Structure 1
Amino acid sequence: MTTPLSLPMTFAPEVATARAAGTPIVALESTIITHGMPYPQNVDTARLVEADIRAGGATPATIAVIDGTLHIGLTDDQLNALGQAKNVAKLSRADIAACIATGGTGATTVAATMIAAHLAGIKVFATGGIGGVHKGAETTFDISADLHELAHTPVTVVAAGAKAILDLEKTYEVLESLGVPVIVFGQDTLPAFWSATSALPAPLRMDNAADIAASHQMRAAMGLPGGQLIANPIPQDAQIPAETLAPIIAQALDEAATKGIAAKAVTPFLLGRIFELTDGASLTANIALVRNNAALAAKIAASF
């Protein structure tokens, strides 16, 4: 008979204080630091996003696994070290437990961050964009675990929609099939990550944080599993028009296919190539949308 293992989880001092006081907390993922941007821009952006959450009256909790311990919130030194670390695992539902069990270090994706946030009692999570159905998934079956996590784990995720490199129509079709509420903030069309609008209609629209928090709580009261996706458009002055991005995304996808890039390597490759092809404009837009999502997430957390 095996002895049950306890979960090695620790809270950063700032997060522990907020938990004790019952004040709002917003979870943040860490793959945006390790796989999304180069150093030192990754750490500088992480600090800006955390500051945006504090300015909104909430406490940021950047989540990562370090040496086999699940960290809910990182100190500034830990954030800086993670931003420079090499060969950091990219963790999702399938491998986060194995990483912790074997004493590894890994950055959390949307799915893994949702799992950790729920374990820590955090209801709201801000990110850039969720993963979803990749183009060509009808033959590759490349579909992000983020979608099923939204159907299972009761966390409200604030994002600028699904990443524009994906098949957006199929992504939202899967979310509908899984019963995940997709709530667009303040407009009648779905945003498309770097672009504020798309041709896709908003499944649901809400115009204030209080309604979003109430929707989360009503799902819990009804016993409905899973979370909700809040699609928050990038600010108009920071967006890249969809018609500008379309040929660039197509070129990056063709290059990935030619190089045989697959599985977890696809998204980092595509984002990196689009950064190069837009002369850095995609990264500037990415920072703006993440900060915008953090500010809305803080308002939602404060509404609970």
Structure 2
Amino acid sequence: MNAPLALDREIAEALLTGQPVVALESTIITHGMPYPQNVDTAREVEATVRAAGGVPATIAVMDGQIRVGLGEAELERLARAEEVQKLSRADLATCLATGAMGSTTVAATMIAANLAGISVFATGGIGGVHRGAETSFDISADLNELAQTPVTVVSAGAKAILDLPKTFEVLETLGVPVIAVGQDEIPAFWSRRSGLKAPIRLDTAEEIAAAHMMRARLGLPGGQLVANPIPAEAEIPLAEMAAVVDRAIARAEAQGVAAKAVTPFLLDLIFDLTEGRSLEANRALVLSNARLATDIARAIARG
């Protein structure tokens, strides 16, 4: 393989010996949370994976390499950096070729995880179809990545700032399995309920792992989207969040915010409008997803 892939020694050994490894994105560090909450959360997520019996692999682009696994100094450097590109499939190669620093979105993390041989990836929420996409055509590359890259992505659903019905309609069209965990409704990121019926319900990590392995046996392209509801004690009910999201989107439109700037703008504004509750909910759901992803990775490792 000619890809500029640099695996941390612990991760390389874990993959070689069949230990469960969980990929983690870096956009949550650079574009999802302010410093120092970003680096604290990254460390907490890695510790959660370890406590559940897995090996965490935080992924970022640094110095012309895809770094799979970041040390303390690298994590701190990324968390404090001001000029960090937000990478998806379209710009991953350019960032590597120019030696720039980049954080990986869901799509780019899936690509890197697959290159490294990692089957499971834990994140907060995926991107999707933005509201007003019928005129803006603003649709995240995450959806197509799920259709072509064989990684199981554990999330709390799609980010609630999106057009959720259209997002899941596109995923259905692309043939991506959307699996709600333990309930018949797709969760809505900060909220446990979205009002949308889940196409598939599975209740255990073992069932999800079995589905992942069966897709490989069938030769089906693409991965699975696991929609894991935020813990009940941490959720912000959908009725409350819907009003907040509507206000944030209206302000973004009034200020002409577009393209990759939309999501970080909205998340920052929602943080202010909820007086920080959205950030605490975000941390809780990411940790919950990391635990479930580790359980799935352990089940896959057992075969």
Report TM bin, short chain. Answer: over 0.9
User: Which residue, out of 269, 273, 288, partners 1:292?
Assistant: 288
1:90-149: per-residue Cα shift (whole Å, max 9, x none)?
Answer: 000000011111111100000000000000000000000000000000000000000000
Q: Show the counterpart of 1:85.
A: 81
Q: Following TM superposition, by how much is the alpha carbon of 1:6 offset from its aligned partner in structure 2, in angstroms?
A: 3.1
Q: Deviations over 1:260-291 (max 9, x none)?
A: 11000000000000000000000000000000
Say whether 1:247 aligns with 2:236: no
Give the deviation of 1:197 after TM superposition. 1.2
**Is residue 51 from structure 1 mapped to residue 43 from structure 2 by the alignment?**
no
Q: Tell me, in whole angstroms, the C-alpha distance in 1 between the residues paired with 2:67 and 2:292.
A: 23
> What's 1:76 paired with?
72
Match of 2:220 among 211, 219, 224: 224
Aligned with 1:193 (options 189, 194, 219): 189
Deviation string 1:53-98 (CA, Å, 9 cap, x unpaired) is 0011110000000011110110111111100011100000000011
Aligned to 2:94: 98
1:35 counterpart SS class = helix
> Is 1:33 equivalent to 2:29 in the alignment?
yes
Question: Where does residue 276 of structure 2 map in the other structure?
Answer: 280
Alignment-derived partner of residue 146 in structure 1:
142
Alpha-carbon distance in structure 2 between the residues aligned to 1:12 and 1:89 = 22
Work out the CA distance in 1 between the residues paired with 2:215 and 2:2.
30
Deviates more, 1:232-241 or 1:196-205: 196-205
Mapped partners of 2:103, 2:89: distance in 1: 12
Counterpart position of 2:297: 301
TM-score, normalising length: structure 2: 0.98
Task: Note the aligned Cα RMSD (angstroms).
Answer: 0.9
- Which residue of the other structure, out of 107, 120, 134, is the alignment partner of 2:103? 107
Q: Which runs of 4+ in 1 moved over 3 A?
A: none
Which amino acid in 1 is paired with 2:207?
A: D
SS in 1 for 2:117: coil
- Distance in 2, Cα, partners of 1:239 & 1:13: 37
Identity of aligned residues (%): 65
Matching residue of 1:137: 133
**1:158 partner SS:** strand
Q: Tell me the distance in 2 between the aligned counterparts of 1:132 and 1:125.
A: 17
How many residue pairs align between the two structures? Answer: 300
Paired letter, 2:6: T
1:159-170 to 2 correspondences below 5 Å: 159-170=155-166
Q: Supply the AA of the counterpart residue of 2:229.
A: P
5+ unaligned residues in a row in structure 2: which ranges?
Answer: none
Q: Choose 72-81 or 157-166, whichever is displaced more.
A: 72-81
Counterparts of 2:120 and 2:27, CA distance in 1 = 17
Residue identity matched to 1:88? V
Structure 1 runs not aligned, ≥5 long: none
